[in-house]
Structure 1
Amino acid sequence: MRIAIVGAGAIGGYLGVRLALAGAEVTLIARGAHLEAIRRDGLALEYADGRREVARPALATADMAAAGPQDAVVVAVKAQSLPAIVTPMRALYGPDTSVIFAQNGIPWWYFMRHGGAYEGRRIAAVDPGGHIAEAVEIARVIGCVVYPAATIERPGVIRHIEGNRFTLGEPDGSRSERALALSALFTAAGLKAPARPDIRSEIWIKLWGNLSINPISALTRATVDVIIADVGARALAAAMMAEAQQVAEALGIRFPLSIERRLKMAEDIGAHRTSMLQDVEAGKPTEVDALVGAVAELGRLVGVPTPHIDAVYAATKLLDRVTSGM
């Protein structure tokens, strides 16, 4: 299978190495010093136990037109970067190309092929102006919930922290041949990649922790273990999660675990610096709109008050503007 990874950073790079070593024809879309290191030395993946693997992709480039049409495209850039790349990404599409959005937060396609009362509704927080929906046909889209934690250790080197699960799912809930084929490919690469009929429920389970812990970490500079251990911060996270649960349940989502269980899952990660904290420290824009702003928008849509989410969103959005210069 010809598969392009758009955004061969921490998560995209991890996935790209695993797929390339499993025999897929992988193209990595990257830029800058990271791209030059990949071209020179391949892309290295370092594990917590000291193991190291190196993969040489079929192609590493910043030019999507040079890659040409693919069987599948994995979009691993953060949600805030998506509007700028969806038009150039069209160079990667053939008639049957699938596009897997491996991103955190509420996805731009959430209400597309939804079948509910809000079918086709655009979520302004993640697709302002509808530019993404115009550039990507919904028929191409496969949802993906990303669980691994990884960082770019240095150009050309990805450090894997924990996790290997990439849950896949069609927006319409079908168990399509293409989703099953991708699941098999990911599984052959040593990943857990079930194809689920209700990808939106799994999106909310992952988002449940991210929408609270990530912005709290950005505002306080605290790692996950410190947030969970602090009485006040833990209570704030739980309050935000309770509001999000009410929003999700108003949209038909049911949670199979408690808030305390979800917090325990976060606690088990340990002294991890969230991706949002890493972005703030690097002076980069964060995923605050996809993780927090979109949930506040959905709360207004279904008539569920979200005062804790709104307050943390306002503070984090300001922090985002100050630190990234936007």
Structure 2
Amino acid sequence: MKICIYGAGAIGGLLGVRLAKAGEEVTLIARGPHLEAMRKNGVTLHSGGETFVAHPHCTDDPEAVGVQDFVIVTLKAHSLPPIVSQMRPLLGEGTAVVNAMNGVPWWYFYKLSGPWQDKRVASVDPDGCIWETIGPERAIGCVVYPACTVIAPGVIAHEYGDRFLLGEPDGSRSERCLTLSTALGKAGFKAPVRTEIRNEIWVKLWGNLSFNPISALTGATLEEIATSPDTQPVVRRMMGEAQAIAERLGVTFAIDLDKRIAGAAAVGPHKTSMLQDLEAGRTLEIDALVGAVQELGRLVDVPTPAIDTVLGLVRQRARLAGCLG
């Protein structure tokens, strides 16, 4: 089985090391000093007090890789439209593309019964290029729970988490999903196949759409945002609006808002990915996490005053910091 990890930074590096150690044929596509270090020294993973080194094939040239069984995309959502055409050499008739990214996925409305079936989400796929190039029939949903950091070129620190939830847009327990689940399981991950993957996407998104922008605006950690009397009410308003949108789209939440906030607080003094990106001067992942939720709110006629306010503020913060894509 050929597995390509496209955008092999922190999460991609974690997957690459574990899958390679489990015996899979893995290719990592990356760039810059990180790629050069992985080519020269392999990929080093610090996890659970242990250090692992793997030597998967690493390149920046998809044409040199060829058709894959699975392409796991671990880019930030805003990075995919500019490079999606470069993925074509990886895509064969039976290739599955796993959307291992945060936020509302570009395929969200594919095979979703109802008035919006097959609608494109402009916030994450502005001109439809992802839909047209990858094809929604190739898409597998994936909710990513591990937290990792690239601490040096070619070196990944795995902080916590081992779950990658998988699911087909149509809710089926497909052979390709089960095959990938088995491979990830052998690599030491928990990768159950869910028949309602959109429910799982919203549970993760519930936190990302609120904690990420608030962290970028305040510099606070998850624990601080979740417990502060100044920020927790803002989180609650944003999450309440998002829940109303999701439920209008047919989503069922398996946990309540209080439990989701408590779960974020329990992570402790962790900086969100958006705050880390701001501090590093990288483009912030605003549209997939917040802008897309606003877009869906407009679609289903749910007012989003708290989301609108925080979205405007974080866009301004990113613009002034030179981190707005």
Query: What TM-score range do you get, normalising by the shorter chain?
Result: over 0.9
Contact 1:45/1:54, CA 8 A, preserved across alignment: yes
**Percentage of matched positions with identical amino acids:** 56
CA–CA distance in 2 between the matches of 1:254 and 1:97? Answer: 30
Instruction: State the match for 1:302 in structure 2.
Output: 300
Instruction: State the match for 1:279 in structure 2.
Output: 277
Query: 3-state DSSP class of the match of 1:271?
Result: coil
Query: 3-state DSSP class of the match of 1:46?
Result: strand
TM-score (norm 1): 0.98
**Structure 2: tracts of 5 or more residues without a match:** none
Instruction: State the match for 2:77 in structure 1.
Output: 79
Query: 3-state DSSP class of the match of 1:73?
Result: strand
More displaced, 20-29 or 125-134?
Answer: 125-134
- May I ask how many residue pairs the two structures share in their alignment? 324
* CA apart distance, 1:324: 2.8
Instruction: State the match for 1:260 in structure 2.
Output: 258
Query: 3-state DSSP class of the match of 1:121?
Result: coil
Provide, for residues 113-170 of structure 1, a one-character-per-residue CA deviation record: whole Å limited to 9, x for no partner: 1122200111111111111111111111111000111110110100001001000001
* CA apart distance, 1:34: 0.5
Contact 1:215/1:316, CA 8 A, preserved across alignment: yes
* CA apart distance, 1:229: 2.2
Query: 3-state DSSP class of the match of 1:142?
Result: strand
Q: Kindly report which structure 2 residues correspond to 1:30-45, keeping only aligned pairs within 5 A, or say none.
A: 30-45=30-45
Contact 2:4/2:71, CA 8 A, preserved across alignment: yes
* CA apart distance, 1:325: 5.3
Letter in 1 for 2:35: L
CA–CA distance in 2 between the matches of 1:96 and 1:164? Answer: 27
CA–CA distance in 1 between the matches of 2:113 and 2:246? Answer: 16
Query: 3-state DSSP class of the match of 1:87?
Result: helix
Contact 1:228/1:263, CA 8 A, preserved across alignment: yes
Instruction: State the match for 2:172 in structure 1.
Output: 174
CA–CA distance in 2 between the matches of 1:95 and 1:181? Answer: 17
Instruction: State the match for 2:157 in structure 1.
Output: 159
Instruction: State the match for 1:21 in structure 2.
Output: 21
CA–CA distance in 2 between the matches of 1:296 and 1:325? Answer: 20
Q: Kindly report which structure 2 residues correspond to 1:1-326, keeping only aligned pairs within 5 A, or say none.
A: 1-47=1-47, 49-57=48-56, 59-324=57-322, 326=324
Letter in 2 for 1:246: A
Letter in 1 for 2:178: L
* CA apart distance, 1:321: 2.2
Query: 3-state DSSP class of the match of 1:232?
Result: coil
- What root-mean-square deviation, in Å, do the aligned CA atoms of Structure 1 and Structure 2 show? 0.9
More displaced, 156-165 or 278-287?
Answer: 278-287
CA–CA distance in 1 between the matches of 2:270 and 2:174? Answer: 36
Contact 2:284/2:323, CA 8 A, preserved across alignment: no
Letter in 1 for 2:49: G
Letter in 2 for 1:18: R
Letter in 2 for 1:108: W
Contact 2:143/2:200, CA 8 A, preserved across alignment: yes
CA–CA distance in 2 between the matches of 1:253 and 1:101? Answer: 19
* CA apart distance, 1:322: 2.3
Contact 1:115/1:172, CA 8 A, preserved across alignment: no
CA–CA distance in 1 between the matches of 2:131 and 2:316? Answer: 27
Contact 2:278/2:323, CA 8 A, preserved across alignment: no
Letter in 2 for 1:139: E
CA–CA distance in 1 between the matches of 2:4 and 2:122? Answer: 28
Query: 3-state DSSP class of the match of 1:74?
Result: strand
Query: 3-state DSSP class of the match of 1:44?
Result: strand
CA–CA distance in 1 between the matches of 2:106 and 2:139? Answer: 11
CA–CA distance in 1 between the matches of 2:88 and 2:196? Answer: 27
Query: 3-state DSSP class of the match of 1:268?
Result: helix
Provide, for residues 250-306 of structure 1, a one-character-per-residue CA deviation record: whole Å limited to 9, x for no partner: 111111111110011111111111110011111111111000000011111111101
**Structure 1: tracts of 5 or more residues without a match:** none
Query: 3-state DSSP class of the match of 2:198?
Result: helix
Letter in 1 for 2:279: E
- Runs of 4 or more above 6 Å deviation: none
CA–CA distance in 1 between the matches of 2:238 and 2:232? Answer: 10
Contact 1:284/1:323, CA 8 A, preserved across alignment: no
Query: 3-state DSSP class of the match of 1:321?
Result: helix
Letter in 2 for 1:306: T
